[in-house]
Each structure stands twice: as structure tokens, then as C-alpha cells.
Structure 1
Amino acid sequence: MMGGSASESAYRVLMGVLESRTGQTLSPSRIWRIEMSLKPVMQRHNIADLDALVAGLVTSTSRQLLDDTVDAMLNNETYFYREYSLFDDIAATVLDKLREINKLRRRLTIWHCGVSTGQEAYSLAMLIAEQGEKWAGWQVDIVGTDVSYHAISRARVGLYSQFEIQRGLPVQRMVRWFDQTEAGWLVKADIRRRIDFSVQNMLTDRPPLASPADLIFCRNLLLYFSPSMRQKAFAKLRTMAAPQSFLVLGAGETVLGQTDQFVASPRLRGLYEPADQQMRRAAAA
């Protein structure tokens, strides 16, 4: 048995639903938390237990129950300027390299895949805004996608609690880019309108990018994929990436032994480049 009151088959069905809808699998530690995660969903839909929830998923014609169930099983952990040194490197080095690469087109496209509730995408938008003069006359598109409709709804609103605002956000940026309201801290309209948030499954949907992505954030998402799904995800990321571009993964993630689509950047620690980009550079040397 995998858990307490629910049958093993209920857990199997829920794990299957999550993987088929999102590509994600549940680690043993997350399996034990399924029931706790789904309690608010069961209360909202007046469902007694996990077995009844699974029965409801099978028989219900309501998409809401399925959406709520999948949403509750996702890990939407994120915060502003996650790994501050990475954002420092992006501000100091990566954005300058991308400006040089794209100086003729004067266009920059950033895709944040698995954007969750939006804090890291807003962190990127703030970096761009703070470099205002550098990007004058440029078309800068930031696209944030996530499979969770709940997370994307929150990201679009851009309203954060005191706890969320204090996680990683320096006070001077909080004062500059947020308005304090009775409901929480609201991202200023100038930053909000810089990002296009949409509900997307990165494995099956095509993100709404106007041009190939110059910088892709896909952090702490591939951890939850099986090896075969991870390969599929890397292939999708490569399809969406510009010929000269950078991929950012989570601190605990790597391309080594996972894919031949991307390789570690020789110039920028912790970033990755399309493998064919490095081959072209070597051939030209």
C-alpha cells in the first residue's frame, strides 16, 4: 500500500492523471503528500476521500474537478530572484551578450517555461526595466508559461503576500516596482505588461513566442519528469531556442547524461547553449 486510507489503485490513477496531463511523475516523498494536497479540492467539491475523488474524475463531465486535482498535485514553489547570483550574472553578462548577438534585429525574446506564480519572470522584467536605456528602441518579449491555470491566474494579477514579497526581493526593488494595497503587494503596471502569461503544457503545446527564444528559463521543472519525458522536454526546448541562445536550469539540474541537444556554456557558469551552436563556433575558429 502507498498510503493510509486510500486504496493503492486510487494513488495509481492520480499519478497517471498527473503524468498524462503534465508529463510530471511523483517521487515517493510527494506520493505521501497527495492526500494532504488534495484535501482542499475534496472539501471544495464535497468529496469524502481519495477513492471517491478518483471515481469522480472517471465519471464527471466537469473539467473543473480535473483541473483542480492536477493543480493541487503540482509543486509551484518559486520566489523572487531565486539564486541571486544567477540574476546578477544575467544582468551583468548574459543580457549584454544577447544585445550583441541581436543588435541588428533589436529584438529579445525570453521564455520562462514552468513560470509558476510569476516571481522569477517578474524578476527578469525588473532587470530589463532597470537597464532602460540599453533596451530603448528594442522589442523585448517575455513569455511565461505553466501547466497550472491557478498559478498563471495568480501570475497575471501580480499580487503577492508579505511572506512572498520578502522571499528574495530587496527592499529598494519592492519600493520601486510594487504598490502596497490592502490585499498585498501589487506589481506595478509597467512591469506587469512586459510579460505575456499563458497556460501551456511544455511537452504538447507550442508557446506563444513571436520569435525563437534567446533566453529560456526552465528551472526545477525537469526534476519531476521521467528520463524519457525529460528527453522529450529538452528536444522541445531546443526547437524553441534561437541558434545563439542560453538555457537556464535549476541548481540541481544538468544536461549531462540527459540530452545531446544542449551543452554547458564554456563562457557562462551554470548556463547551457544549443550543442550545434558550439559546433558552429568550433568550426569557425
Structure 2
Amino acid sequence: MEASEASHQIIADLLEARTGQHLTESRRWRVNSALAGIFRAHGISNVDQLVCLLAAPPAGPEGTDLAQEVVEALLNNETYFFRDKPTFDQLPGEILPELAKRRQSARRLSIWSAGCSTGQEVYSLAMLFAEQAERWQGWTIDILGTDVSHRAIAAARSGVYSQFEVQRGLGVTQMLRHFEETPRGWQVRDEVRRMVRFAQANLLAPHHPGRIPFDLVLCRNVLLYFDRPTRSEAFARLAGAVMPDGFLMLGAGETVVGQTERFVPASRRASFFEPVTRPVAATLQKIA
């Protein structure tokens, strides 16, 4: 194995160890471009030199975690508001009304967006409720967004987006209704932000940062980065996080068929799945 190939494998192993994501051969082409900013910041020119820096002790007691910088750079944080709109439209059209019937006595809905990236999915969910304020009056709506990336969660918590970001998936009316233009960018309005909260967390970690189970879990375009054993582990954790009569929403190109026996497709609802059983694992209890 040549040095550069060995170095790429070390980087791949680092990503998998910290996130569970499997860096396939088809994705390795983007490693150098993804790490270009780190190369410039540290005055190096290739992955071999980066691996040498990773092996060296950090400079000073307050040295930055270079390994975490590398992981953050390799994560794919591609997202936008109301992503895959035909699939997303099933939420206000079918899924949320169905959950409203099932939770009518409690008048509370708890939703988890796993792998929420920079927050657009979470705020999209909150906008659905804000746009039907009369329908949900008197309800408690709690939407939790988590992501393995510290950087992405910090951006999500700020609720501030650039002109380019805010126009991806939003019409002008929605943009003006739910955002306020500020010197820093477009800020999500308070009535939307009050419904959401964010936490840095790994889907595969032994503890969950929120109170489980949830009525609805979204885990879109996350599982496709895992190898089969890791995907099976992720499905087990998701199954333990969904109410027995709740729903799991996957990405448009993802399915449970042939992947797990813990979920089955929801009738006539593309990308939505229902739990077969709900194994309650001690590892998924709320963090005190």
C-alpha cells in the first residue's frame, strides 16, 4: 500500500470511528478538495502531511482538535428548506393529521430530526405548524434537531441564513413570513424558533439527548453513508426512539426493505415507515 493510499485509509478510519460513516471508494475522490481549507490553514499540501500532523501531539495545552477539524470537513452537510418537496408535502397532508388524531387527548407532538445538518429541515417542520397556527392552538410542539457536526449545530442554533440558503426551497411569501432580514443575514422569526431545539449528538451514540420516544422521527439521507452492519445498528436505535404508533421518515432514495425487520412501509405513503415493535434499550434513556 502506497503512503498516500495508507493515509487515505487512516482518514477514512477516523471518519468512521467518530461518525459511523463509511468512506467508500466512490467518495474518496472528494477528500482532497474537502480538506483543502485545512491544508491551507496548516501550511501543508497533501493527505500524507496531514496524517503526520494527526499523529503528532497537539501544540500547547489549548491546541485545537485537528482530528475533529478533519471529520467536520468531510461531513456532507447538504440540505435546504422543504427538501424533496413531494415527500415533505405528505407531512401536512397525511402524517401530521393522522398523528393529531392519535394524540388528541395529550395534545402534544414530539419530533426528532436525526442528522439535521444546519437546521433547515427542523425549521421547515416548525413552519408547517406556524402556517396552521389555528389548527395547532393549545398543542405543545417540540422539535429536536441533532447532528454529529458541532459546526452544523452551531449554525442551526443561530437560525441565520444567507440569501442563497434562504431561497433554496422557500418562496418569497414564506421567506418574508418566517424570516427577518438583518445585517448578519436572514434570521428565523421567534414564533418558529420557539418550537425547536438543537443538540450535537451521534445517532450511534449510547445515549440520546432528548426525551424518547418520539411521535415522528426524520432520518433522511443519513443511513446511506453507513455500511450494512452500522445501518442495522442505526435502525435498532431508531426503532427504540419511535412510538409504537409513530412514524419514521427516510430520504427519497432510502428504504427499510431488505435492511431491517424493525420497520415496515406505511401504507401508500412513500418514504414513511412504521415500527414493527419498540425495543426499549437502556442505552436510549434520556441523559440526566
The aligned runs of 1:118-267 (5 Å cut-off) are: 118-267=119-268
> Normalized against structure 1, the TM-score is what?
0.91
* TM-superposed deviation, 1:189: 2.1
Deviations 1:181-221 (A, max 9, x none): 23321111221232111110100143322241111110011
User: Which structure has greater helix proportion?
Assistant: 1
- Asked if structure 1 preserves the Cα contact closer than 8 Å seen for 2:114 and 2:147, the reply is yes
Moved more, 129-138 or 42-51: 42-51
Moved more, 150-159 or 261-270: 261-270
* TM-superposed deviation, 1:179: 0.8
Moved more, 153-162 or 186-195: 186-195
Moved more, 265-274 or 140-149: 265-274
> Normalized against structure 2, the TM-score is what?
0.90
> Are 1:30 and 2:27 counterparts?
yes
Question: Cα gap change, 1:60/1:47 in structure 2, threshold over 3 Å: closer, same or farther?
Answer: farther
Query: Aligned partners of 2:148 and 2:74: how far apart in 1?
Result: 12
- Structure 1's consecutive aligned runs of 4 or more residues displaced over 6 angstroms after TM superposition are none
Query: Aligned partners of 2:258 and 2:93: how far apart in 1?
Result: 30
Counterpart of 2:36? 39
Three-state SS of the structure 2 residue aligned to 1:208 is coil
Query: Aligned partners of 1:48 and 1:190: how far apart in 2?
Result: 47
Moved more, 60-69 or 160-169: 60-69
Three-state SS of the structure 1 residue aligned to 2:35 is helix
> Are 1:13 and 2:10 counterparts?
yes
Three-state SS of the structure 1 residue aligned to 2:153 is helix
> Are 1:100 and 2:101 counterparts?
yes
- Asked if structure 2 preserves the Cα contact closer than 8 Å seen for 1:235 and 1:261, the reply is yes
- Size of the alignment, in residue pairs? 274
The runs of 5 or more residues in structure 1 that have no matched partner are 278-285
RMSD of aligned Cα (Å):
1.7
Counterpart of 1:49? 46
Moved more, 91-100 or 186-195: 186-195
* TM-superposed deviation, 1:225: 0.2
